[in-house]
């Protein structure tokens, strides 16, 4: 099985369910987006929702994907940066227990926190204080961190540092790794459309995007976006929520329907878990259809609850379902 390393903002998610979207307007957080906030804004969010129950979990796009891959039994690593605090200990402890090979640099700022507000319809909105995660620099990356891996999965949330993303992809390309890019959030893609377009055409082998992100990058609807993205990289994947996912490789185009009709409780991590299932199946040498089906299985499970922490029993069910698909 091929080894996969993820790189992204090392964050701890703090999730809370809100009763209506008026709260988002009051906090100036556009629904479904990821907004960078400072420590003062973070405090305001906590104060506004002080009467709610918060749930803590490993976060960040790449962190979620790596965590899910480890649960499936894949050989995985993670590159990121944290502070020297309780959040860092939590993040590190959770991933080490799963056997993740950690390349965690340490900064002087507090560890990053992603405050995740979950709307009644399951949509999630992020107010992210990057902290130490946002100080990871291109000069801190080296070829040794990628040694022995076959895939680099990198999250688009790192777009605040162009040099960092290019350095990581350049090193990966030099060592023959397949480069996978998750487009992160539609508002980031809108703001950095040209940069993302350059990365896809110059470096990236596999692109993961949801419908909004694909539209932000190309201006087109799903099939049009799939065609455009797929013409610039090896594999393009666009997730469509309750409508499944589209995949394109060369002239092959397929649509895979969702594995269930589950109503979303919380969509946090849905795309990250889909990518994990897809990459796990790919690393096992499975067809694109089976890769997408595996991704759909993981996404279906994670949207049934708040946060991305699933029980051992649930992971045992997931693994059985995924292996059934791969062996069919």
Look up the CATH number of domain 4-8+61-109+135-327: 3.40.1190.20
Separation of alpha carbons 225 and 97, rounded Å: 39
| More confidently predicted of 169 and 53 | 169
Work out the average pLDDT over 300-314: 84
At 177, list the tokens: 């790794």
pLDDT at 261 over 60: no
Per-residue CA distances from 38 to 88, 130, 164, 216 (Å) = 18, 8, 21, 26
At 48, list the tokens: 């506004």
Question: Rounded to 5 degrees, what angle do the CA atoms 211, 202, 223 make?
Answer: 25
Separation of alpha carbons 279 and 48, rounded Å: 39
Separation of alpha carbons 175 and 21, rounded Å: 46
Maximum distance among all alpha carbons in the chain? 53
Q: What is the pLDDT of residues 153-189, one digit of tens each?
A: 999 999 989 999 999 999 999 999 999 999 988 999 9
Question: Are 238 and 214 a contacting pair, CB within 8 Å?
Answer: yes
Q: What is the mean pLDDT of the chain?
A: 93
Q: What are phi and psi of 168, to 5 degrees?
A: -60, -45
Where in the chain are the domains? 4-8+61-109+135-327
Q: What is the pLDDT of residues 182-222, one digit of tens each?
A: 998 899 999 999 999 999 999 999 999 999 999 999 999 99
pLDDT at 264 over 80: no
First-last CA distance in the chain: 18
């Amino acid at each position: 099985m091929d080894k996969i390393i993820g790189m992204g903002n090392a964050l701890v998610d703090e999730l809370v369910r809100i009763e209506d979207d008026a709260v988002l307007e009051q906090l100036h957080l556009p629904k479904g987006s990821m907004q960078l906030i400072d420590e003062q804004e973070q405090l305001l969010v906590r104060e506004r929702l002080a009467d709610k129950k918060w749930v803590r979990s490993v976060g960040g796009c790449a962190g979620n994907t790596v965590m899910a891959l480890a649960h499936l039994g894949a050989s995985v690593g993670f590159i990121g940066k944290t502070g020297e605090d309780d959040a860092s200990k939590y993040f590190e402890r959770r991933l080490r227990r799963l056997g993740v090979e950690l390349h965690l640099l340490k900064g002087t700022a507090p560890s990053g926190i992603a405050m995740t507000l979950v709307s009644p319809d399951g949509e999630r909105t992020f107010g992210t204080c990057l902290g130490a995660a946002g100080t990871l620099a291109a000069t801190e990356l080296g070829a040794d961190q990628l040694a022995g891996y076959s895939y680099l999965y990198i999250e688009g949330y790192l777009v605040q540092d162009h040099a960092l993303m290019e350095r990581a992809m350049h090193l990966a390309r030099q060592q023959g790794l397949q480069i996978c890019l998750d487009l992160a959030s539609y508002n980031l893609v809108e703001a950095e459309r040209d940069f993302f377009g350059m990365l896809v055409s110059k470096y990236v082998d596999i692109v993961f995007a949801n419908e909004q992100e694909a539209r932000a990058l190309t201006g087109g609807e799903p099939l049009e976006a799939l065609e455009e993205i797929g013409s610039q990289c090896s594999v393009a994947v666009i997730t469509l929520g309750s409508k499944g996912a589209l995949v394109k490789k060369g002239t092959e185009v397929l649509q895979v329907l969702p594995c269930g009709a589950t109503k979303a409780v919380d969509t946090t991590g849905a795309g990250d878990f889909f990518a994990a299932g897809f990459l796990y199946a790919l690393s096992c040498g499975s067809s694109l259809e089976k890769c997408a089906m595996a991704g759909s299985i993981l996404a279906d499970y994670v949207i049934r609850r708040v946060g991305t922490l699933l029980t051992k029993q649930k992971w045992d069910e997931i693994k059985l379902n995924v292996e059934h698909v791969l062996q069919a």
